[in-house]
Each structure stands twice: as structure tokens, then as C-alpha cells.
Structure 1
Amino acid sequence: MLIKLKGVLDERTLAQIREKLSVAHFVDGKLTAGSDAQKVKKNLELRQNNDLVGEIHQLVLGALKNSNEFWWATRFKAMLPPLIAKYEPGMFYGSHLDNAVMGGDDLRIRTDVSITVFLNGPGDYDGGELTLDNGFEVMKVKGNAGDAVTYPSTFYHHVAPVTRGQRLVFVNWIQSAVSDVRKRKILYDLAILARHLRKKGQGPESTELKLTELCHQNLIRMWSQM
């Protein structure tokens, strides 16, 4: 289930993040990769255990938590500290699968959902498409600055080589309260349906809206792992 979230970060938040990154020290991205991923990874990342990482994480997480669609798409339970990645010409991240469990002594999570937040726009660089393979089709994503995309961590994916400019992204992994992607999709569709009914003028006494919300909330109770 690939979900595109439009305009999660506003211009003010993006400007704050870019200002912080303009003086940041980036290191070889291989430092955060497993043994297999190291063979196909060529990018730069903001050094972990850096105060800047925490500051940017709070800015992005605050914006995400204000997005209904983020909650609907992920059923957010826990999130790791992020990776802030930079790709310059010649850099890429070859096909790989995210580890099923990530984290350290302070926090370890099961990775159910992966998220990429685009910190600059597609006009700032050529190439660099996030390419996802679910086993049936290949999907390419290149979002506007402030957009995000969520997808199951079970997808193989890669970042195409950047040929011009600079690609900046916030990358993270989420443990969902609903681990089964099929169940998350049903809940997401019901949330979208309820929103659609409200936009069409259905009020709280509407039979269609009441039944939709009844199914939605009861399935959340049935499937959530809190």
C-alpha cells in the first residue's frame, strides 16, 4: 500500500530544516547500512547522535502527527530516530530490503511502514527517483518539497542515481499498531470513505456514515496491538 501525502511540511518548516542542514556535517551513508546494503549504497547522511537529527525529527514528526492521512496510512505506534540523507551527482542506493527489526538499546521496533519525506523539489535534481517493487509492479516516486510517501517495509526498493543537483530526504521506519498491511488498507479505505461521505454532506445521523464509522472503529479495536 503506497500512500502519497501531499504538503506534509509547509514552507516555513522546510526553510527551518534547510537552514539547519546548510551547516550540517554529513558522513558516508554506509555507516548506517547492513553488510549487504553497504555493497549497493552510495550517499551521505547526517551523523547519528547529532542534536540536529533530533531537532529535525521533532519538526517532521510534529507535522506528520497533524496529518490525518499519515495516521490512516500508518496506524503509527513507534518511530526510530530518522536518517537525513543527501544524494549528489553519481550517488544512489541500489535495490535492498529494509531490516525487519531496527533500533538499539533505547528503542527497538518492528519495521512495518517505511516513510520518505522530500526536503527539496524535483526541479533541484535529475534522477534520484525512489523506485518500489512490490513483486507485481514497479512504482517510481519523486515528490515535491514537503511531500511524503509511505509504503510497506516489505517492498524491495532503490534510489536511482542522481545525475544533477542534490536530493535531500528524511527517511524513517514505523511500527504500526496494525501490523498486517491488508488490514491497514481496509482501515485506510474506510477512513477515506467516511471523509468522502462527510464532504458530500452526510451528517452524524446518516445511516451510511454511521455504518462506515461503526465498521471502522470496531475493526480498529479488533486489529490494534497497543
Structure 2
Amino acid sequence: MLLHVPNVLSKEQVLSIRQAMEQNNHWVSGKSSAGTQAKNIKQNLQLDSTSELYQQLSQFVLNQIRENILIQSFTLQKEILPPLFNCYQDTGHYGNHVDSAIHYTTEKNKAVRTDVSMTVFLSEPDEYEGGELVIEDTYGVHEVKLDAGDAVVYPATSLHRVESVTEGARIAACTWIQSMVRDDWQRSMLFNLDLTIMKLREKYGDSEESVSLTSHYHNLLRQWADL
């Protein structure tokens, strides 16, 4: 299941991030974070993760992701990796691949299972040509090109790619999440149930029916959560 999350970052926040990137040129080859197989199909730039600028921007975007209610409900986050920032330009692209199952954090010195992938767009669609994020799943092929500040969240098991950018520059942040619920189908069921509960509470308040559904939600989560 794919989810479009609008306004993870406001337009003002995107502008501030972009201005900081333009004033401090800390871009390096994206191959530095690629595995052996990915190096052959990855052509982009990445904000240097050793720079002070990266540390500041990554922590800021991470905080915005953590606070987003829709992302919380959809991912049931247990761990979120610090976002990476990438830039595709001059025919930059990333061929078909599946994200690594395990990432290692230097900050916490621990392994994180990547259940969910996320891309937060930092360029407006009319700033570049090409650059679609193409995600393949059991429901078909999906092309994603969102407004700056919006995010797409999808299972990390999905085959995906970034099409060649033929004009302009496509800048985005990407990260991976370990969920309390490993199974995508179970997460989708819980998300849909949670949305229904929220809509019922908004319309009718804490009715007997909404309280009953909330009980079912938490009992399912109790069964499926991996803590």
C-alpha cells in the first residue's frame, strides 16, 4: 500500500532547507552510500552525511516526520533512520532496486530493519523534467511526482526506481522506518481501521461504536506488535 502524505514540510520549511543547501555546497557522489549492486545503477548526488549542515537538516526533517499523525498511523514507527538528501540532475537516475533489508546507524550503533520507505520531495514538479519515482507492487506500477513538502510512504519490499532527470534538479529526502508491525498487510488493516475510528470520532464523538472499534484496534496491535 502506498500513501501520499501532504505537507510533511511547509513551503516555508522547504524554502529554508533549499536555501541552506544552496549556500553550503556539500554534495558528494551518491555511490558512497550504495551497495555493490546499486553502484552500477545509481547516478546522483547526496548531501555529505559528515557535514554539519547534514546533521542539522536531517534532524529537523526527522522531527517533522516523527510528529506527523498520518505517518504515525500508517507506519506504526519503532525506529526512523536519519533522512538522507539526494539530488538528481544531468540525466541522474537510479535503476530498479529494492532497498537493503537492514541499515546500521552510527548514532545508536544498532541494526534497523527497513519495513517502510519514505521520500519527501523538496523540489516542485515544474522544477525538473523526468525524475518520477516509479514503484512496482502487487497492484501495478505507480509513478510518483509530488509537490515540494509532500511525501510518499510505501513498503520497503517494493521494487522501485528514479527515472532519469533530463532538465533541472530533483531534490528530495529519503528515509526508512522499522515498524512495530512487520507485515505490510497487517499494517494496512490497522491503518484503515484507525482512519475509520478517527472519522467516526470526528462525526459522532466517543460513541459506543467508536470505543468498540478502538478496543478491536488495540487488541489487534497487541497481537501483531513486535517490540
Q: TM-score range by the shorter chain?
A: over 0.9
Matched residue SS, 2:87: strand
User: Cα distance, 1:74 vs. partner?
Assistant: 0.8
Tell me the number of residue pairs that the alignment of Structure 1 and Structure 2 aligns: 224
Asked if structure 1 preserves the Cα contact closer than 8 Å seen for 2:62 and 2:82, the reply is no
User: Which AA in structure 1 matches 2:211?
Assistant: K
Structure 2 unaligned residues grouped into runs of 5+: none
User: Cα distance, 1:63 vs. partner?
Assistant: 1.4
Structure 1 residue runs of 4 or more that deviate by more than 2 Å after TM superposition: none
Matched residue SS, 2:37: helix
Asked if structure 2 preserves the Cα contact closer than 8 Å seen for 1:84 and 1:171, the reply is yes
State the identity as a percent. Answer: 37
User: Cα distance, 1:224 vs. partner?
Assistant: 1.6
CA deviation profile, 1:136-184 (whole Å, cap 9, x unmatched) = 4101100100000111110010000011111000011111111111110
Matched residue SS, 1:103: strand
TM-score of the superposition, structure 1-length normalised? 0.95
Does 2:177 match 1:191?
no
User: Cα distance, 1:56 vs. partner?
Assistant: 1.2
2:218 corresponds to which residue? 217
User: Cα distance, 1:11 vs. partner?
Assistant: 2.0
User: Cα distance, 1:104 vs. partner?
Assistant: 4.5
Does 2:169 match 1:202?
no
| Cα distance in structure 1, aligned partners of 2:57 and 2:217 | 33
| Cα distance in structure 1, aligned partners of 2:25 and 2:174 | 17
Which stretch of the first structure deviates more once superposed, 57-66 or 120-129?
57-66
Instruction: Name which of 126, 130, 133 aligns with 1:130.
Output: 133
User: Cα distance, 1:47 vs. partner?
Assistant: 1.2
1:48 corresponds to which residue? 49
What is the alpha-carbon root mean square deviation over aligned residues? 1.3
User: Which AA in structure 2 matches 1:202?
Assistant: Y
